Structure 1
């Protein structure tokens, strides 16, 4: 068997696995930042993380974070690190509000994921119910969806960050909230996410998972975490969903 034959068979198997996930799904749970848009495309997340760290250090709280946490370039890591040490504190609430403000600012320059808008609208048109399960603020999600005229495709099922930060993914809390509200069994749903945290949350909730990886680095992270079906573009999904109409 040639390497070309093996590659062709692998692609065919992936396509069939993708089709099976789409066909079975009656409820689709979307992560927000990644599969739907690049929230920080024009308002860099690493700059936001740096600003949060500087805000803490400006209050003499340098020692609350490890060197790794300070250098993570991920604002959610900074926020969760603080919450682990001071859960539910006013300090955590204020930092969370600062992050929400930065996320809201980022919606103005967020870049829609290619094919996401038509895929969402088409899936809705063929009778699938959809929800968003994200670590971002639900206020941010609503602001973005309103700007893209997508709110009706999801409302009221938008489940995002609350002040209970221990419920952020990889905890399955927001997925379980969505499933309970929509009256869906986990096996009838599909989670679309772009990070290992999304995958782990889906596994914990018993929901089939589809990984969206816009580059090779993202795909490797998902594959190493155990994702078996990934796509680098939403276009083939849109084609498959259109055949359900």
Structure 2
């Protein structure tokens, strides 16, 4: 299919999406996993809003932040041991409380039908990412799925974005990153891509202050944002 200037969503050939806080609201499941791990160490649970502030940077960083927030920071071998213990717990809490963000199915369908290649790039582990996407029947839209353990360096490094674009056969200048956090902005800038951020994600800094090209209220605003990016180019 020709995906050139006739496409109604601007000139981009591919869109890469973050997962947590962008395509899914996974904070309740992540909080459940964190609190199970803390309970195993006789520590009190953390409210989901506190855990939401810890999301981003991968599971190891989540574990580190959770124990620090509980007043029992872990270092070196103790942190590695807790991270290993978290792996099976995390995998038990992937879809029970997680929900799709508004507009996900509608917008992915629209882009897919218009010949735009779609990928997911996340710091969440690869197998967990794939299980969630399968659960919500999103894999049919995707040409690339890159989790945090598939690359050497997590976002805000560009590794996962570049790997996904390589799988899609699209250059960074022909692609767009869509996320909700500073790590998405940093990764997109390092990869040489424009970036759109969504409100309602997991950033603790106002999304307007993170340096995105455009900020949208929801995924359903993305086609219009892409037209604005094209007009400004």
Same fold (TM over 0.5): yes
Q: 3-state SS of the aligned residue for 1:29? A: strand
Structure-2 residue corresponding to 1:169: 155
State whether structure 2 residue 215 is matched by structure 1 residue 234: no
Structure-2 residue corresponding to 1:187: 173
**Pairing 1:188-203 to 2, within 5 Å after superposition:** 188-203=174-189
Q: Residue 71 of structure 1: CA displacement?
A: 8.8
Q: 3-state SS of the aligned residue for 1:162? A: helix
- 147, 168, 171: which one aligns with 1:160: 147
- 191, 208, 211: which one aligns with 1:223: 208
Structure 1: gaps of 5 or more residues:
1-19, 59-69
Q: Distance in 2 between matches of 1:168 and 1:33?
A: 14
Relative to total residues, which structure has the larger helix share, 1 or 2?
A: 1
TM value normalised by structure 1 = 0.68
TM value normalised by structure 2 = 0.71
- 94, 105, 108: which one aligns with 2:96: 108
Q: Distance in 1 between matches of 2:52 and 2:140?
A: 36
State whether structure 2 residue 113 is matched by structure 1 residue 125: yes
Q: Superposition RMSD on alpha carbons, in Å?
A: 3.7
Contact 2:37/2:85 (8 A) holds in 1: no
Contact 2:37/2:89 (8 A) holds in 1: no
Q: Distance in 2 between matches of 1:186 and 1:195?
A: 19
Q: Distance in 1 between matches of 2:52 and 2:99?
A: 23
Structure 2: gaps of 5 or more residues:
1-6, 44-49, 65-74, 227-233
Cα gap change, 1:180 to 1:104, in 2 (>3 Å): farther
Q: 3-state SS of the aligned residue for 1:211? A: strand
Q: Distance in 2 between matches of 1:225 and 1:162?
A: 25
State whether structure 2 residue 198 is matched by structure 1 residue 212: yes
Query: How many residues in Structure 1 have an aligned counterpart in Structure 2?
Result: 203
Contact 1:104/1:143 (8 A) holds in 2: no
State whether structure 2 residue 12 is matched by structure 1 residue 25: yes
Q: Residue 137 of structure 1: CA displacement?
A: 1.6
Structure-1 residue corresponding to 2:23: 36
State whether structure 2 residue 61 is matched by structure 1 residue 74: no
Q: Residue 191 of structure 1: CA displacement?
A: 0.5
Q: 1:93-143 CA distances to partner (integer Å, 9 max, x unpaired)?
A: 861562464255131221111111111122111111111100112222222
Q: 1:183-216 CA distances to partner (integer Å, 9 max, x unpaired)?
A: 211110000000111111110111110101127x
